[in-house]
């Protein structure tokens, strides 16, 4: 039976690279993002190189749309074995701390707390039925080192990190691995290990090797 990786926040950079990496290992790929045309185009590009892929439109901040996309992906492609949660934060999530109001935190919390909880709770019964699976959280450095220039992501990523760590501890006895990859300084920027292809290799190793919860890009692979 073909297994599926669902990539929430799939785009032309890291999402595409991760899809290619898992596709080479025989996974079908569910590409989930806000704009149907974008994920359809990406799915077409992947299909052209032999990766089974479908695109599904859903905003990570919309729980009903997110659940519907995950259901459609499992029905179309096969059971979801790997869930990657990696939507890009909106620019307005990144205000300085003294300019950040309570209202400014609603979006970041919806995306980085409610979104992952919704997705995880929705796929968890299927992972338990499979008896295996991997849940991957991809975050920037503010998840572990608060940055007062990007307050929304610092607050929300920290909460996402705590949730992921608790999941890791709770699900390990069931054979379900939960891992977080921290990408300091963002994707690309001229650092070879920060390029999408290298990051995708690292992400696949987290699924394959099933080690500790948190790793950082720049550390030696385990």
| Other C-beta atoms lying within 10 Å of the C-beta of residue 185 | 12
- pLDDT given for residue 181 in this prediction: 97
| Chain centre distance of CA 180 | 9
- pLDDT given for residue 193 in this prediction: 81
Give residue limits of the domains in the chain: 4-216
| Residue pair 185/191 in contact by the 8 Å Cβ criterion | yes
- pLDDT given for residue 104 in this prediction: 96
Q: Which CATH class is domain 4-216?
A: alpha beta
- pLDDT given for residue 172 in this prediction: 97
Q: Are strands 4-8 and 53-57 parallel, antiparallel or unpaired?
A: unpaired
| Residue pair 32/58 in contact by the 8 Å Cβ criterion | yes
- pLDDT given for residue 219 in this prediction: 64
User: Phi/psi zone of residue 78: left (φ > 0), alpha (ψ -120 to 50 degrees), beta?
Assistant: left
- pLDDT given for residue 1 in this prediction: 67
Q: How does pLDDT run along the chain (222 residues), one tens digit per residue? A: 679 999 999 999 999 999 999 999 999 999 999 999 999 999 999 999 999 999 999 999 999 999 999 999 999 999 999 999 999 888 888 899 999 999 999 999 999 999 999 999 999 999 999 999 999 999 999 999 999 999 999 999 999 999 999 999 999 999 999 999 998 877 766 778 889 999 999 999 999 999 999 999 986 443
Q: What is the pTM for the complete model shown?
A: 0.94
Tokens 């290992």 map to which residue?
Answer: 25
Nearest CA to 200 out of 4, 12, 3 is that of 12
- pLDDT given for residue 47 in this prediction: 97
Strands (E), the chain: 4-8, 28-33, 53-57, 80-85, 133-140, 176-183, 214-216
CA 206, CA 222: separation in Å to the nearest integer?
9
């Amino acid at each position: 039976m073909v297994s599926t990786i669902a990539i929430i926040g799939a785009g032309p950079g890291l999402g595409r690279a991760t899809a290619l990496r898992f596709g080479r290992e025989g996974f079908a790929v569910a590409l989930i993002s806000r704009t149907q045309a974008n994920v359809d185009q990406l799915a077409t590009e992947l299909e052209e190189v032999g990766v089974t892929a479908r695109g599904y439109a859903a905003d990570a901040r919309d729980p009903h749309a997110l659940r519907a996309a995950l259901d459609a992906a499992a029905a179309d492609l096969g059971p979801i074995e790997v869930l990657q949660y990696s939507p890009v934060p909106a620019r307005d999530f990144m205000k300085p701390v003294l300019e950040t109001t309570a209202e400014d935190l609603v979006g970041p919390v919806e995306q980085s707390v409610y979104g992952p909880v919704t997705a995880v709770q929705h796929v968890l019964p299927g992972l338990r039925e499979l008896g295996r699976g991997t849940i991957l959280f991809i975050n920037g450095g503010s998840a572990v080192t608060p940055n007062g220039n990007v307050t929304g992501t610092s607050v929300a990523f920290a909460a996402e990190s705590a949730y992921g760590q608790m999941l890791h501890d709770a699900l390990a006895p069931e054979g379900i691995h939960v891992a977080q990859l921290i990408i300091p300084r963002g994707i690309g920027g001229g650092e070879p290990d920060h390029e999408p292809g290298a990051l995708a290799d690292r992400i696949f190793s987290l699924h394959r090797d099933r080690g500790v919860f948190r790793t950082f890009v720049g550390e030696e692979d385990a």
